[in-house]
């Protein structure tokens, strides 16, 4: 197997894939892009991921993107690490449902804080989006808190969804969310943050 | 197996799951919610899906939401229909990558046309979001066109990703996208639209 390369940027959602690779025991190279220098839009990186986003994982089969796809893939390629339900389509779907919600609702709500220019050109509109982020992210936290029975997202077994929730939940305070009403999320964040693979990924990722 | 129920609304992304169920040969009941009457926010429906969105699929194992999760689940529960790669983690991940892009980038771009109030309160900001939709959806179509070798999203074999792309690509003209530069998408849309399962889902879905 060709050695894999993970393309990340500090303080981005790529941390979730980075965590999953360490939880899996994967051997990989890490390339950190400097978004301040717009390296994600460089010709070199666009040749790797034409969408100009992280995470991107160069594997022996090709370059793979999109966090929910990457997380399930890593779990399936390293089955001995037991990072996703196996041989139970509904349990696997529950994990996917959670990851998809994080990607298409929670991460999207968060992106309106600093990436509003994706969806409007007008400066006042971008500021109006930024102003609503505490409200939308609090609504997301409310959905997650109700869903989170623990100790892990799927119950008794840690999965790639836990590193993903940890990554996104670490944005809450910065997004203006008062986390006091969300004790399960706070406890989950501490539980995940104590794992050696997570500490290692954070130390390597920077940001 | 308890009979499943799919909750949809006309002209929404729930069509993708509806198509997948018919492609799979699944037997299910259909409940169409009237978004004009805000039925998705009714107490009855919030008891089924607290997120107040469609699609939601009530199965014998519980209620499942989020299109990418539903599509992979249906494919896995009806393996004889061959709606997703099996026993090939990377090929499955390619499908998931495509579905995740549709959910978290393309559908999100589209939602800024009529659902801008999710991300800003100010009327002028909501109008500014609406104004940019032709540009963002054209950018998405450009990414998809480059990716689409055909005849199907994954190449030689139809998968649940095809019904999903068909559903989202049917929004392009309404979103102000000139489809002339995207002949592969247009041809794919015609190819998918000719399938009996797709015609049946469209006839049932309304909208």
In chain A, where are the structural domains located? 4-82+200-205, 89-195
**Which residues in chain B touch residue A92, judged by CB atoms under 8 angstroms apart?**
72-73, 76
Whole-angstrom Cα distance, residue A35 to residue A47? 17
Min Cα–Cα distance to chain B from A104, Å: 4
Contact: A120, B143; criterion CB under 8 Å? no
The reply to whether CATH 3.40.50.720 applies to domain A4-82+200-205 is no
Closest residue to B69, CB basis, from A66, A93, A132? A93
**Which residues in chain B touch residue A93, judged by CB atoms under 8 angstroms apart?**
64, 69-70, 72-73, 76
Q: How many beta-carbon contacts under 8 Å exist across A and B?
A: 145
pTM of the model: 0.98
Chain B, nearest residue to A134 by Cα: B119
pLDDT of residue B37: 87
Min Cα–Cα distance to chain A from B182, Å: 17
Contact: B120, A125; criterion CB under 8 Å? yes
Mean pLDDT, rounded, for B25-29: 97
Whole-angstrom Cα distance, residue B79 to residue B96? 16
Q: At a CB cut-off of 8 Å and minimum separation 6, what does B52 contact?
A: B40, B41, B45, B46
Any bridge partners for residue B155, and if so which?
Answer: B152
Chain B, nearest residue to A135 by Cα: B119
Q: How far is CA A43 from CA A46, A51, A103, A134, B138, in A?
A: 5, 11, 26, 35, 21
Mean pLDDT, rounded, for B119-144: 98
pLDDT of residue B1: 65
Which helix (H) or strand (E) segment is A7 a member of? Answer: strand A4-8
ipTM over 0.90: yes
Contact: A72, B93; criterion CB under 8 Å? yes
Q: Which of B108, B96, B109, B105 is nearest to B68 (CA)?
A: B96
Whole-angstrom Cα distance, residue A70 to residue A153? 18
Q: What is the CATH number of domain A89-195?
A: 1.20.1050.10
Instruction: Write out pLDDT tens, residues B66-124.
Output: 999 999 999 999 999 999 999 999 999 999 999 999 999 999 999 999 999 999 999 99
């Amino acid at each position: 197997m060709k050695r894999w390369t993970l393309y990340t940027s500090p303080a981005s959602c790529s941390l979730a894939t980075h965590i999953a690779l360490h939880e899996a025991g994967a051997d990989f190279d890490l390339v950190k892009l400097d978004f301040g220098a717009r390296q994600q839009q460089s010709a070199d990186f666009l040749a790797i991921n034409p969408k100009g986003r992280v995470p991107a994982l160069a594997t022996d089969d090709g370059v793979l993107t999109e966090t929910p796809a990457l997380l399930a893939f890593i779990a399936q390629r390293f089955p001995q690490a037991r990072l996703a339900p196996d041989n139970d389509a509904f349990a696997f779907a529950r994990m996917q449902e959670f990851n998809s919600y994080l990607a298409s609702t929670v991460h999207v709500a968060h992106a309106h804080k600093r990436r509003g220019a994706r969806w409007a050109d007008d400066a006042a509109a971008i500021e109006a989006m930024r102003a609503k982020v505490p409200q939308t992210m609090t609504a997301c936290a409310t959905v997650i808190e109700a869903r989170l029975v623990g100790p892990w997202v799927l119950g008794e077994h840690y999965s790639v969804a836990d590193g993903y929730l940890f990554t996104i939940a670490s944005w809450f305070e910065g997004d203006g969310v008062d986390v006091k009403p969300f004790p399960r999320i706070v406890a989950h964040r501490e539980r995940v943050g104590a794992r050696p693979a997570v500490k290692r990924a954070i130390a390597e990722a920077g940001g």
